[in-house]
């Protein structure tokens, strides 16, 4: 079964597009006709993504544009600059997806404050700063749709996971407030909360170690792929989701059911 979306003539920003779920989302958006601004830190992987940009015979083929930005150090001016570069070429955006995130364990008894802040700032404050700029009238067309990344860890935490879990729970809570604010511009916002997805993140040694047989077996449908999550993201960006805002959507292969049963 293939569900396709038509994003011809639309413009989207994907933050954290150099890998995993963000990369897949950027690719699917561009293959559905959109212009995509792909933001990340890793230039090599951004260049590789650009090479996968679809080639079209139409006059203005959809393109993947890339910008290198570290969301931990980006200033308000940096966000304005990257969004200005994109919108001055393609026009105002129809939405944005913020997938930048890092995983890490921060046990309370040997609490690494710097790591905990990095985890929280990447998933949460980076998203807030992106949204603050992206939802400005100058950059967003009326009726734009935004998607932030949460996680099942925002609901079910585990030992040493407080920074990551708190960041992902904060995303879910903040989305409800943002939805009430940005409706002024006709915009929508939702979050997506996956369980274990096979991406670069799972290659993190500690992440792999935490993904025990027992945790994996709770995924009734097996572990997820970036495609599984991108499907939900594209739906939320599309007009088929035009009556949906301020919600969190679990895309978890039955994990939460597995935890509860
Ligand atoms: N994979 C899972 O099991 C899972 C489960 C639940 C939720 N999630 C969430 O889903 C999102 C995407 O994860 P993923 O699995 O696709 O991970 P991934 O493959 O590791 O990709 C993470 C992306 O975040 C970007 N990023 C990290 N720190 C950044 C920074 N300081 N500035 C700019 N970009 C930064 C990375 O860019 P560079 O590589 O260029 O630095 C990369 O593009 C994350 O928010 C994650 O927490 C993942």
Burial class (CB within 10 angstroms; exposed 0-12, middle 13-18, buried 19+) of 31: middle
pLDDT digits (tens, 9 = 90+) for 95-110: 999 999 999 999 999 8
Answer yes or no: is pLDDT of 136 > 60. Answer: yes
Q: What percent of the chain has pLDDT over 70?
A: 95
pLDDT digits (tens, 9 = 90+) for 185-200: 999 999 999 999 999 9
Of 4 and 145, the one with more pLDDT: 145
pLDDT at 26: 97
- Read off the pLDDT band of 220 (50, 70, 90): very high
- Establish whether residue 20 lines the binding site of ligand 1, counting it when its CB lies within 6 angstroms of any ligand atom: yes
Answer yes or no: is pLDDT of 62 > 70. Answer: no
pLDDT at 85: 97
pLDDT at 207: 78
Answer yes or no: is pLDDT of 59 > 70. Answer: no
Instruction: Give the distance (Å) from ligand 1 centre to CA of residue 16.
Output: 6
Answer yes or no: is pLDDT of 60 > 60. Answer: no
Residues 149, 169 contacting (CB under 8 angstroms):
no
pLDDT at 173: 98
pLDDT at 140: 96
Distance CA 172, CA 181 (A): 15
Mean pLDDT of the chain, nearest integer: 93
pLDDT at 241: 98
- Establish whether residue 151 lines the binding site of ligand 1, counting it when its CB lies within 6 angstroms of any ligand atom: yes
pLDDT digits (tens, 9 = 90+) for 14-35: 999 999 999 999 999 999 999 9
Give residue limits of the domains in the chain.
11-260
Q: Give the mean pLDDT of 193-217.
A: 87
Q: CB 70: neighbour CB atoms within 10 A?
A: 13
Of 62 and 134, the one with more pLDDT: 134
Sheet bearing 188-194, strands edge to edge? 64-68, 35-40, 11-15, 93-98, 140-149, 188-194, 248-251
Instruction: Give the distance (Å) from ligand 1 centre to CA of residue 82.
Output: 19
pLDDT at 69: 98
Instruction: Give the distance (Å) from ligand 1 centre to CA of residue 59.
Output: 34
pLDDT at 55: 62
Estimate to the nearest angstrom the gap between the alpha carbon of 244 and the chain centroid.
Answer: 17
Q: What is the largest CA-CA distance in the chain?
A: 60
pLDDT at 210: 77
CA-nearest of 110, 11, 100, 18 to 62 is: 11
- Establish whether residue 96 lines the binding site of ligand 1, counting it when its CB lies within 6 angstroms of any ligand atom: no
Answer yes or no: is pLDDT of 49 > 60. Answer: yes
pLDDT at 56: 54
- Ligand 1 atom with the shortest distance to the CA of 103: 47
- Ligand 1 atom with the shortest distance to the CA of 229: 10
Mutation test of ligand 1: which of 13, 14, 15, 16 has the most ligand atoms closer than 8 Å to its C-beta?
16
Instruction: Give the distance (Å) from ligand 1 centre to CA of residue 258.
Output: 25
Q: Give the mean pLDDT of 48-69.
A: 78
CATH architecture of 11-260: 3-Layer(aba) Sandwich (3.40)
Tokens 């903040």 appear where?
Answer: 174
Answer yes or no: is pLDDT of 111 > 90. Answer: no
Residues 145, 237 contacting (CB under 8 angstroms):
yes
Neighbouring-strand partners of residue 192 = 149, 249
Of 44 and 158, the one with more pLDDT: 44
231-165-227 Cα angle (round to 5): 15
């Amino acid at each position: 079964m293939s569900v396709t979306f038509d994003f011809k003539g639309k413009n989207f920003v994907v933050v954290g597009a150099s890998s995993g779920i963000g990369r897949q989302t950027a690719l699917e958006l561009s293959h559905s006709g959109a212009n995509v601004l792909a933001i990340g830190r890793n230039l090599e992987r951004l260049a590789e993504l650009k090479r996968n940009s679809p080639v079209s015979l139409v006059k203005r083929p959809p393109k993947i544009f890339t910008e290198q930005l570290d969301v931990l150090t980006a200033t308000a001016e940096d966000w304005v600059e990257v969004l200005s570069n994109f919108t001055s070429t393609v026009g105002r955006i129809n939405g944005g997806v913020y997938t930048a995130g890092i995983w890490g364990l921060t046990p309370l008894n040997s609490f690494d404050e710097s790591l905990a802040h990095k985890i929280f700032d990447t998933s949460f404050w980076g998203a807030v700063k992106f949204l603050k700029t992206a939802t400005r009238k100058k950059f967003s067309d009326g009726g734009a749709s935004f998607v932030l990344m949460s996680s099942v860890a925002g609901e079910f935490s585990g030992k040493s996971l407080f920074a990551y879990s708190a960041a992902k729970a904060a995303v879910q809570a903040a989305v409800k407030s943002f939805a009430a604010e940005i409706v002024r511009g006709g915009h929508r916002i939702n979050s997506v909360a996956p369980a274990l997805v096979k991406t670069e993140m799972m290659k993190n040694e500690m992440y792999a170690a935490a993904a025990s047989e027992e945790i994996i077996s709770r995924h009734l449908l097996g572990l997820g792929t970036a495609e599984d999550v991108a499907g939900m993201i594209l739906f939320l960006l599309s007009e088929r989701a035009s009556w949906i805002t301020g919600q969190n959507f679990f895309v978890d292969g039955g994990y939460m059911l597995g935890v509860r049963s």
